[in-house]
Structure 1
Amino acid sequence: MAIPPPEQPERNSPQTAQYIFEAKIPRITATLPDIQSLPRTLGTRDLVVFLIFDIIVLSFAMLMQLAGPFALLYWLIGTCTFFLPGAVVFYWLARHLPGQGSPYVWLKSVFNPVLGFTITFSIWLTSMLYTSTSLQEAIIYFRMLKPAWLYTSSQQGLLMILMLFLATAISCLPLARLKHLLFIACLGYGALYIILGASALWRLQHGVLWLLPWNHPATQPLLWHEQPLFYSFTILAFLGLNHPLFMGSEVHEGQAGLRRASKYIWWGAAIIPFLYLLALVGAAAWTPVVSRNETQAAIELWINAFGPVVTFPATLVLGLADIFQAVIFMVLFSRLLITLAQHHRLPPAFARINAAGVPVFTMLVQAFTILVVMVIGFIFIPSLFESGNNAIEIERTTHEIMLASSFVLLLCSTSLFFTLPIILSFNRAKGKNIASAANYKRLVLTAIALLGTGATLVAIWATLTQSWVAGLSNEHWGSIILMVVFIMLILGWLCGEMPRLSVLLSDQKRVTRSEKTLREQLQEAYQQQGVLLLELEKLYREQAFAATIDPVTELPNHRAVMSYIDATLARAQAEHSSFIIMFIDLDHFKSVNDQWGHRAGDTILYEVAQRLHANLHQEDVIGRYGGEEFALICTNSDLPTTRKRARQLCTILAERPFLCSVRDNTYEISVTASIGIAAYPRHGTTRDALIEQADRAMYRAKQKGRNCICCSS
């Protein structure tokens, strides 16, 4: 009699469907390409080095020195109204706004992503203009060494390419190595300013009083003339305090590390004004009246201080300093493109880095952009005019226009950053950090931000209204600067919008392809659902069969036998009927396993099970109780009939040997059985009692000599 399998789960249940889809259908997600993170290798010292190279330029000090003895006054005013307020504001932004110093994240969190992207990309494009002026200034220094060699456009173009290649190669060094190189160069660069200041103190130890405006020989023409212009030169010299924050994602320990490393701002606030002070004091001591050509004035300063013998090394060092500044610009501003790519505003290629953690593709894009700017500004435009000194003067004018235009654009972005604390202080929804602070702290921060904003606006106004070129009127100068600024903004918007739209389009195509693939797989899955459900049903049946059938004898196992005894006992109690349990144990079966092996033993167990099963009544159930022991449950039978059947079973097992193949040989193995019988309710009324009585009867049969039967007493 077959034992029914356990209850199966509902065929169309939610659990069944969940199993099918989780097991058979892979999940499809529209993921964007993985973008690697830049290695975190920077600390406070490294950001200070970046800041010094970004801001300190001797030619800018010479522009401040155009004010004569009032240069120190403008230095003090610029420090108090722009540099120190900038330090306070950018330190607060670095510590309170998320994004690890990214201007895009700052602007996006305060305004919106589109405005943040447009301004960030415009800053990057402006920085390329700014970098080209640094490299052009290096060319001017090198041309002073050999004027005859660098006179034609082809010679200048070759030198331009060589210097750009050198700057790009240095900027492509792994940051872990580059920071050490820059630190050593920074120490040497700072030492030059210290030497210059020391020489000035030695020079002025007997004549300090002539530094005062009313004692200076050039005081009369410079006393109150062009004051806003000199102030804008001072702001130009101090511009860039927030640029090292662009490297915030490469600072140790992420955002928490950047909060600590943002102290570089205070180190810079102490070092940079001091170095500029040394340069101004040196210029006042050795070059009281400065030429309008700031690069030439820087060389004259060193010649006046140490003699003509330093012409070559001073020119070489100043040219290399400009190249290092270009390297700093390329490294810093490349992070703007990387940030935009990481936020999926530019193609992922801009954020791709090599094994050393260097964004080579971004560096090459920047190098190409700088080359285009330099070719247009310093080769193509001067070539349209007459050759000779006029072409050089045009080149000089182009340099000043590009420098002033990039200065105005960077001032506009800086003024926007100055306004962030002001906006947040009046917007409690966005400015939670300010809103939770004391009122006086909010007022102080807002006042400092307003002071810095006012300084940038004054510098913008002064740059637009007063010409930097002697032969160019203020009206023409302002018109040209506004035109260049407008063109740069339009180019920034167009050049930035096209990659952004391209990224959005590619992302949409990627999502569409993923959704199409998902729909196709879902459709295929629905078509196969019937087959999968049938497979699942078959799987459950196989599991049910495996849980109740003994694999050796293919009879019900111990668990199934016990379940059937319980069911039969419950039915007998309910119907007041009887049934009999018969335990059949093979005699000396251990010797069979020991002599012929367990494979032979399993074969005999299977043959025994088949003989027993073949001689069952329809209502009887037989199963393997354990080892070499079988249990037979007989219903609708009495003891005399059961004894007779037990003798028949012993005879069936003993009369014919079992055939077993061992090592390619067939042997005949004789097996007998001892049988114990217990009846319900005569010998027990519980399952355990009946099993115990049948087991004892079986052992008495073995004690009588085996191959016999015994009934419980």
Structure 2
Amino acid sequence: MRPSTVTLESAGEAEQELPSESYVPKAMPPVLGTFDLTAVCVLGMLYLTNSTTAASSGAASLLLWLLGGVFYFLPSVIVSAQLGVLFPHDGSLYNWTHHALGRYWSFLIGFCWWLPGPLLIVTSAATMISYLQGLNHSWLTEPWQQGLAILALILLSGLLASRRLRTAQHLVNVGFCASLLSIVLISGAGAIWPLRGHQPATSFRTFSDWTPTLERLSLFGLICGAYGGAAMPLNMGGEIYEHEAIPGYLRWSTLVVLFGYLASTLTLLLVQGAAATSNPFALISVVDSVLGKVAGNITVVALLFAYLMAATAYNYSFARVLLVGSIDQRLPGRLGQLNRERVPTSAIALQTTIAALLALLIFLAIPYILFFADARNFSLIFYNVSIASVGTVWQTILVFIYIDLAHLLLKQREQVESRLIMPRWLLWPAIVIGPLASLVSVVSSLLVSWIPQQLDNAHWQYSVIALTSIMLVAALIGSLYASSQTSWQRMRMTGP
């Protein structure tokens, strides 16, 4: 049984039902449950590579993970759960903003919410390349080689995302289990290391070890970016069959993501310390040294498959934003086309094409223009710069989930009161704290390079600002083109 939605009785534009809200339940089967949504959320958020970068702050990184979890992650989970229950429809932030603020804002915010999706597909593939390089340092040493390999992985993810949703979701669920296996092995290595009598490679004894300095605080942006995207599975909110799936998946995802980041970072600090900084293969090296080569090989295979499935989940999840935008006549009609298996293949094909073009630009053109980039570590450089850029865009855009809920609580109080799943005394602190944490995160991301050994502060700021600007300009051009195409289609339909 599909979750029901709140009915807002006001006659204003912001409360009108969207065509996609009635179309999706009729055209697309409800096949997603709590476990499915948890798998999508964890794969989309839990990039253990972030732990190797955060480990550069020593013991303070554990405190930063906790601070980011309390002040950024938990508010976003609380507000996303409430909005998802109020409006369980495909499109998530796009749909919520429509009901709260109206048509104009919903299109703009929805488009910006979708925009980082293709870049995240590239980032997932680039992370896989970093692990492959760790297996053999002679593999994929040139950016053009990395670019071609990433292109192949992007196309594979697009092919998998185009399968029937239940089929693709089964693969994603296996990827989630693989991710859990890697967490168990990595955290197990951290637990066994001191039991064998080894001293921690990092100091945890003094107050200064735990104090976040200005340089350490710059990683708060990385940590908040790692905690972003809790609402991503709700892009498919209209295809959920369990009423409790929305709050259920957010509870489980919160626990898994928090534990995954804390456990993997602690393991690195115990076994390798500062030597792990910005080396994505450090996690595998830790498992190799503590549990043996077989366990290390299992970990790397599990992570490679998990990242491939993350790219697949990004692809079919964000395709729903394009789908509902097309159904609601805000994007060209062809993006709303479904194949025989009820999959929006046109939207997936567009995302895959954009991701492929980004990979060609980033790995086949930019490295030979920006000579400051280290060719051997270019996939690592790109990963961190792209995560910072995506985090900047998303943390800015996701402020609207707090604005949306605040508007609904103030302006539609009677209509939403019966569907509140959390007390107001918990919702309002989340609405206030979440945006403030987002602001601190965005500013801190630009202060100091996350990877100073590969990219100094000046080039870091230039790279992050440049990539963020490219995404925002692309959003402006894309939205103008989409609006013009949609207007032209309406004229054809209503013309003489």
Same fold, judged at TM 0.5 (above): yes
Match of 2:235 among 246, 260, 264: 246
Match of 1:359 among 335, 344, 349: 344
Match of 1:135 among 125, 130, 136: 125
Alpha-carbon spacing, 1:154–1:408, altered in 2? closer, same or farther (3 Å): closer
- Corresponding residue number in structure 1 for 2:482: 499
- 1:56-87 CA distances to partner (integer Å, 9 max, x unpaired)? 12111222322222222222222211222222
Match of 2:469 among 461, 483, 486: 486
Equivalents in 2 of 1:56, 1:220: separation in Å? Answer: 26
Match of 2:45 among 55, 64, 74: 55
Equivalents in 2 of 1:361, 1:130: separation in Å? Answer: 19
- Corresponding residue number in structure 2 for 1:375: 360
Q: Which amino acid aligns with 2:487?
A: L
Matches within 5 A, 1:140-151: 140-151=130-141
1:233 paired with 2:222, answer yes
Equivalents in 1 of 2:197, 2:415: separation in Å? Answer: 52
Question: Displacement of 1:357 after TM fit?
Answer: 1.7
Contact persistence 2:54–2:277 (CA under 8 A): no
Question: Displacement of 1:208 after TM fit?
Answer: 9.7
Equivalents in 1 of 2:199, 2:74: separation in Å? Answer: 28
1:449 paired with 2:434, answer no
Match of 1:103 among 89, 93, 109: 93
Alpha-carbon spacing, 1:72–1:454, altered in 2? closer, same or farther (3 Å): same
- 1:463-512 CA distances to partner (integer Å, 9 max, x unpaired)? 02222231645455334423332331121121122122211221122112
- Corresponding residue number in structure 2 for 1:414: 398
Q: Which amino acid aligns with 2:313?
A: I
- Corresponding residue number in structure 2 for 1:336: 321
Contact persistence 2:91–2:321 (CA under 8 A): no
Equivalents in 2 of 1:437, 1:124: separation in Å? Answer: 27
Query: Quick check: 56-65 or 46-55, which moved more?
Result: 56-65
Q: Which amino acid aligns with 2:240?
A: V
Match of 1:182 among 168, 172, 181: 172
- Corresponding residue number in structure 2 for 1:155: 145
Contact persistence 1:129–1:370 (CA under 8 A): yes
Match of 1:323 among 304, 308, 322: 308
Match of 1:468 among 441, 450, 455: 450
Which runs of 5 or more structure 1 residues have no equivalent in the other structure?
Answer: 1-30, 514-713
Equivalents in 1 of 2:361, 2:122: separation in Å? Answer: 11
Looking at secondary structure, tell me which structure has more helix per residue. 2
Question: Displacement of 1:101 after TM fit?
Answer: 5.6
1:509 paired with 2:488, answer no
Equivalents in 2 of 1:437, 1:313: separation in Å? Answer: 45
Contact persistence 1:419–1:453 (CA under 8 A): no
Q: Which amino acid aligns with 1:337?
A: L
Contact persistence 2:121–2:154 (CA under 8 A): no
Q: Which amino acid aligns with 1:401?
A: V
Contact persistence 1:229–1:463 (CA under 8 A): yes
- Corresponding residue number in structure 1 for 2:6: none
Question: Displacement of 1:372 after TM fit?
Answer: 0.7
Equivalents in 1 of 2:201, 2:413: separation in Å? Answer: 47
- Corresponding residue number in structure 2 for 1:649: none
Looking at secondary structure, tell me which structure has more strand per residue. 1
Contact persistence 1:108–1:116 (CA under 8 A): yes
Alpha-carbon spacing, 1:410–1:152, altered in 2? closer, same or farther (3 Å): same
- Corresponding residue number in structure 2 for 1:302: 287
Q: Which amino acid aligns with 2:127?
A: E
Alpha-carbon spacing, 1:145–1:100, altered in 2? closer, same or farther (3 Å): closer
Larger radius of gyration: 1
Question: Displacement of 1:242 after TM fit?
Answer: 0.7
Equivalents in 2 of 1:163, 1:99: separation in Å? Answer: 30
Equivalents in 1 of 2:143, 2:203: separation in Å? Answer: 44
Equivalents in 2 of 1:203, 1:152: separation in Å? Answer: 36
Question: Displacement of 1:334 after TM fit?
Answer: 0.9
Q: Which amino acid aligns with 1:478?
A: Q
Equivalents in 2 of 1:153, 1:80: separation in Å? Answer: 38
TM-score (norm 2): 0.86
- Corresponding residue number in structure 2 for 1:69: 59
Equivalents in 1 of 2:398, 2:269: separation in Å? Answer: 30
Equivalents in 2 of 1:278, 1:74: separation in Å? Answer: 13
Question: Displacement of 1:184 after TM fit?
Answer: 2.6
- Corresponding residue number in structure 2 for 1:263: 248
- 1:371-395 CA distances to partner (integer Å, 9 max, x unpaired)? 11111112211123569x9423455
Equivalents in 2 of 1:328, 1:118: separation in Å? Answer: 23
Question: Displacement of 1:260 after TM fit?
Answer: 4.6
Match of 2:74 among 60, 63, 84: 84
Alpha-carbon spacing, 1:220–1:319, altered in 2? closer, same or farther (3 Å): same
Equivalents in 2 of 1:406, 1:188: separation in Å? Answer: 25
Matches within 5 A, 1:588-627: none
Determine helix, strand or coil for the equivalent of 1:226. helix
Alpha-carbon spacing, 1:444–1:161, altered in 2? closer, same or farther (3 Å): closer
Determine helix, strand or coil for the equivalent of 2:27. coil
Equivalents in 1 of 2:353, 2:306: separation in Å? Answer: 21
1:392 paired with 2:392, answer no
Determine helix, strand or coil for the equivalent of 1:182. helix
Q: Which amino acid aligns with 2:326?
A: A
Equivalents in 2 of 1:191, 1:398: separation in Å? Answer: 27
Which runs of 5 or more structure 2 residues have no equivalent in the other structure?
Answer: 1-18
Alpha-carbon spacing, 1:76–1:386, altered in 2? closer, same or farther (3 Å): closer
Contact persistence 2:185–2:299 (CA under 8 A): no
Question: Displacement of 1:341 after TM fit?
Answer: 0.9
Contact persistence 1:83–1:238 (CA under 8 A): yes
Identical amino acids, percent of aligned pairs: 21
Determine helix, strand or coil for the equivalent of 1:325. helix
Question: Displacement of 1:308 after TM fit?
Answer: 4.9
Equivalents in 2 of 1:476, 1:390: separation in Å? Answer: 12
Determine helix, strand or coil for the equivalent of 2:236. helix
- Corresponding residue number in structure 1 for 2:268: 283
- Corresponding residue number in structure 1 for 2:334: 349
- Corresponding residue number in structure 2 for 1:194: 184
Equivalents in 2 of 1:463, 1:222: separation in Å? Answer: 18
Question: Displacement of 1:354 after TM fit?
Answer: 1.2
